[in-house]
Amino acid sequence: MPTGRMSGNITQDWEP
């Protein structure tokens, strides 16, 4: 899954 902040669709605070 892409990062929440980079995907745009997923707005969560998860970062790799």
Count of Cβ atoms closer than 10 Å to residue 5 Cβ:
12
The predicted pLDDT at position 16 comes to: 62
| Per-residue pLDDT at 14 | 65
| Contact of 5 with 15, CB cutoff 8 Å | yes
What would the pLDDT profile of 1-16 be if each residue is shown by its tens digit? 555 565 565 666 666 6
pLDDT at 15: 62
